[in-house]
């Protein structure tokens, strides 16, 4: 057997080899957003009835989480620490449909359907019932999974997952004003998907938002994309400022995002082969 004499190798060749190894190692590093470490995420499986959990929001007034199952039209109230389903929930708010996200506006829950219909949830002595608040009027085939509250705009903002008016380089967002004019069918802003791609430290597909929330401390927009396995940080007009990878082990199918006032981040995953999960990621100064 002939052994390689490392001392005989040219120094340039060795330096090149080390550079290649270094690059390969760097591509495996998954950086977390500022003030967070995914390594410190606390993962908990949740009730099997929420295997396809599709939206998650923290209700700071009631100190509970609100969530819903993708297709059932049921609202679930979850314990703030254990994420157990609190009785008497779940509440039936509508017929079967494709319910994709939940947001709170002035303390009132609103549910988004994939076709751009928004349902307002009304609490009364009988429980919860849903009232259609509005439906977006843009033409074509459009698919939405993301809705968040923007108190400065006094609006709920919907971000396209796939909309006919967009191309490979754009992702449109629309505003719904619950207290006044309802939907405006012209985009309130457009995300430059090509910029997201150029900023990404890893190869990925086009940004297809599955959840978004405004950060309570930085006032930046955090956008989760399950299809692209990423979280994008942007300003409130959708201009990207950072892109971070969501590893498949912790985030097999991230569909929900919410924050507590102290910055603690919660991301929910639909169950791929078993129960869904909620990840709690502490905020650090």
Using the CB atoms, write b or e for 235-260: b if 16+ within 10 Å: eeebebebbbbbeeebbbbbbbbbbb
Among the listed residues 32, 108, 36, 101, the one whose alpha carbon sits nearest the alpha carbon of residue 263 = 36
Q: What is the 3-state secondary structure (H, E, C) of 123-188?
A: EECCEEEEEEEEECCCCCCEEEEEEEEECCCCEEEEEEEEECCCCCCEEEEEEEECCCCEECCCCC
Peptide bond into 175 cis (omega under 30): no
Q: Considering just the CA atoms, what is the radius of gyration of the chain in Å? A: 21
Q: How far apart are CA 120 and CA 113, in angstroms?
A: 12
For 183, phi then psi, to 5°, come to -80, 145
Around 60, how many Cα atoms within 13 Å sit in the side-chain half-sphere?
Answer: 11
Cα 128 to chain center, whole Å?
25
- pTM beyond cutoff 0.95: no
Q: How confident is the model over 208-249, as pLDDT tens digits?
A: 999 999 999 999 999 999 999 999 999 999 999 999 999 999
Among the listed residues 144, 258, 281, 119, the one whose alpha carbon sits nearest the alpha carbon of residue 209 = 144
pLDDT computed for residue 6 by the predictor: 43
Cβ contact 146:211 at 8 Å? yes
Residue boundaries of the structural domains of the chain: 34-281
DSSP 261-274: TT--EEEEE--SSS
Question: What SS3 class is residue 32?
Answer: coil
Q: 28-32, 48-52, 63-67, 116-120 — which is least confidently predicted?
A: 28-32
pLDDT computed for residue 272 by the predictor: 83
Would you state the structure tokens that stand for residue 7, as one six-digit string?
A: 């001392």
CA-CA-CA-CA torsion for 91, 93, 97, 98, nearest 10 degrees? -70
Q: How confident is the model over 148-202, as pLDDT tens digits?
A: 999 999 999 999 999 999 999 999 999 999 999 999 999 999 999 999 999 998 8
pLDDT computed for residue 30 by the predictor: 53
Q: How far apart are CA 162 and CA 164, in angstroms?
A: 7
pLDDT computed for residue 9 by the predictor: 45
Pick the CATH number of 34-281 from 2.120.10.30, 3.30.1490.20, 3.30.420.250, 1.10.3720.10: 2.120.10.30
Alpha helices in the chain (DSSP H): 11-27, 193-199
């Amino acid at each position: 057997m002939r052994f390689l004499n490392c001392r005989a190798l040219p120094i340039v060749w060795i330096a090149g080899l080390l550079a290649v190894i270094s690059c390969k190692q760097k591509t495996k590093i998954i950086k977390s957003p500022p003030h967070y470490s995914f390594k410190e995420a606390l993962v908990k499986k949740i009730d099997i009835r929420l295997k396809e959990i599709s939206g998650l929001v923290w209700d700071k007034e009631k100190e509970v989480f609100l969530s819903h199952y993708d297709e059932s039209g049921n609202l679930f109230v979850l314990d703030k620490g254990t994420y157990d389903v609190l009785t008497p929930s779940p509440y039936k708010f509508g017929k079967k449909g494709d319910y994709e996200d939940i947001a709170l506006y002035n303390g009132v829950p609103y549910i988004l359907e994939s076709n751009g219909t928004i349902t307002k949830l009304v609490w009364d002595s009988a429980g919860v019932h849903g009232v259609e608040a509005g439906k977006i009027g843009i033409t074509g085939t459009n698919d939405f999974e993301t809705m968040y509250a923007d108190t400065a705009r006094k609006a709920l903002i919907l971000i396209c997952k796939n909309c006919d008016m967009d191309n490979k380089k754009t992702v449109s967002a629309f505003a719904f004003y619950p207290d006044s004019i309802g939907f405006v069918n012209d985009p309130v802003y457009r995300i430059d998907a090509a910029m997201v791609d150029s900023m990404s430290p890893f190869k990925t597909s086009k940004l297809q938002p599955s959840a978004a929330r405004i950060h309570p401390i930085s006032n930046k927009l955090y956008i989760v994309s399950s299809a692209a396995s990423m979280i994008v940080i942007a300003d409130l007009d959708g201009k990207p400022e950072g892109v971070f990878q969501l590893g498949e082990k912790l985030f097999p199918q991230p569909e929900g995002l919410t924050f507590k006032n102290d910055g603690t981040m919660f991301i929910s995953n639909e169950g791929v082969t078993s129960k869904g999960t909620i990840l709690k990621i502490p905020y650090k100064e």
